[in-house]
């Protein structure tokens, strides 16, 4: 019932709140959330056209792909552009159009607008989507280990493009509630993810493979569908769970790739993992903002939402990266809550012992005072 009230409030409250309100409440929050220090710099950074991975890292594409202005037709708002990206099935074209959509919106200062997202993002015929249990092991995939891991990452990044644009389009009717900054952040996330997919796609081709050479799962989109009617749930499930898992897995993938002898791919993965901190930080920022607007405690609301939507938190956790992104440890690590409880119980026991000792001393002093008192 509590989560139902949250959903109704988020979707139906029609009181406008400027972005400055969210900034103020976020930084004065009492919920022990420390924002990522680089968030404002990330927001203010210029357009990033480094969509090719050169010998020493990201560089602008030496042969830019043609700008698909015709694909956008009469679209004149960010929501319309995003819907067209979601309706594009070819992965490479989706990545390119995503960057073009964000660039067009930024350069021409287009309005947010509203649009109806497609029921599901358009998908290519390959890879075949199967359950996570049906994903082949590396030795059975037909790909070497480095290409196998890179293919899995490319699939995550392609889904992440759609997840970010779906968030922009799906909640665009509630701009007055959320503020334009919400949509600006997730449009930038979509642009980042499209760049990440471009790097993965390029490196797969260098290794002699392509996206679609092995099956993939549809778990990420199913998680997105769960939260289609609740912005707080969308923020909890996608940035704070799904993308945070990328922070956990990134360093392990880098180590495996180095061990495999593929330093070039390891550097790509390390760069992607580093940039994902911003995306998790954006999720934290807006989740806290929405919760405070609704008068809900972010920590308990996060846990309630995961329970309601049957979302599982899995370790091992990269505590350092999660802390940098601003996720309090007690939100996702049950052992932390247990330890805090044990520490609190320990403090209570120590205080109780002190009180008992003081009471005993007072009683003894009172008794001694009574014995030493001269008879009347």
Q: In the chain, what percentage of residues exceed pLDDT 90?
A: 68
Nearest CA to 98 out of 46, 180, 40, 168 is that of 168
Alpha carbon of residue 325 to chain centroid: 9
Mean pLDDT of 317-342: 82
If pLDDT is split at 50, 70 and 90, which confidence band does 351 have?
Answer: low
Residue-averaged pLDDT of the chain: 85
pLDDT at 19: 36
Identify the pLDDT of residue 357. Answer: 62
pLDDT at 30: 42
Q: Residue 219: what pLDDT?
A: 80
Per DSSP, helices labelled H in the chain are 2-12, 19-27, 39-44, 78-86, 91-108, 145-170, 175-178, 180-206, 219-226, 231-237, 244-260, 263-294, 298-308, 319-325, 329-332, 334-372
Rounded mean pLDDT, 198-219: 95
Short-list 187, 155, 306, 175, CA closest to 235: 306
pLDDT at residue number 374: 55
**Tell me, what's the pLDDT at 218?**
84
With a cut of 70, say whether residue 29 has pLDDT above it. Answer: no
pLDDT of 330 over the 70 cut: yes
The predicted structure's pLDDT at residue 73: 77
- Specify which of 305-314, 317-326, 328-337, 357-366 reaches the highest per-range mean pLDDT: 317-326
| Residue 58: its H or E element | strand 57-59
pLDDT reported for residue 358:
57
Higher pLDDT, residue 42 or 221: 42
Q: What angle do CA 279, 86, 208 make, to 5 degrees?
A: 80
């Amino acid at each position: 019932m509590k989560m139902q009230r949250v959903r109704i409030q988020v979707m139906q409250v029609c009181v406008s709140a400027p972005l400055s309100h969210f900034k103020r409440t976020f930084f004065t929050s009492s919920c022990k959330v420390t924002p990522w220090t680089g968030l404002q710099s990330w927001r203010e950074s210029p357009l990033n056209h480094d969509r090719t991975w050169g010998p020493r890292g990201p560089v602008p594409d030496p042969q830019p792909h043609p700008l698909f202005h015709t694909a956008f037709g009469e679209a004149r708002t960010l929501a319309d552009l995003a819907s067209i990206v979601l309706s594009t099935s070819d992965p490479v074209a989706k990545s390119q159009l995503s960057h073009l959509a964000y660039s067009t919106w930024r350069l021409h200062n287009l309005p947010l607008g509203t649009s109806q997202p497609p029921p599901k993002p358009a998908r290519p015929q390959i890879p075949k989507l199967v359950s996570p249990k049906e994903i082949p092991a590396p030795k059975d995939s037909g790909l070497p280990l480095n290409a196998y891991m890179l293919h899995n990452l490319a699939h995550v990044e392609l889904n992440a493009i759609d997840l970010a644009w779906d968030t922009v389009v799906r909640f665009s009717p509630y701009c007055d509630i959320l503020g334009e900054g919400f949509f600006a952040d997730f449009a930038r996330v979509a642009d980042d993810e499209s760049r990440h997919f471009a790097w993965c796609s390029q490196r797969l081709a260098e290794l002699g493979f392509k996206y679609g050479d092995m099956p993939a799962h549809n778990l990420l989109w199913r998680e997105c569908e769960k939260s289609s009617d609740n912005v707080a749930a969308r923020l909890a499930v996608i940035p704070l769970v799904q993308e945070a898992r990328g922070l956990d897995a990134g360093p392990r993938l880098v180590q495996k790739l180095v061990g495999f002898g593929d330093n070039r791919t390891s550097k790509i993965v390390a760069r992607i993992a580093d940039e994902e901190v911003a995306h998790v930080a954006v999720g934290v920022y807006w989740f806290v903002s929405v919760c405070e607007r609704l008068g809900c405690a972010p920590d308990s609301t996060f846990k309630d939402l995961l329970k309601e939507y049957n979302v599982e938190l899995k370790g091992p956790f990269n505590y350092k990266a999660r802390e940098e992104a601003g996720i309090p440890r007690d939100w996702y690590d049950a052992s932390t809550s247990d330890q805090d409880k044990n520490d609190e119980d320990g403090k209570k026991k120590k205080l109780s012992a002190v009180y008992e000792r003081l009471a005993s001393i007072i009683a003894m002093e009172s008794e001694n005072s009574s014995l030493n008192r001269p008879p009347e």
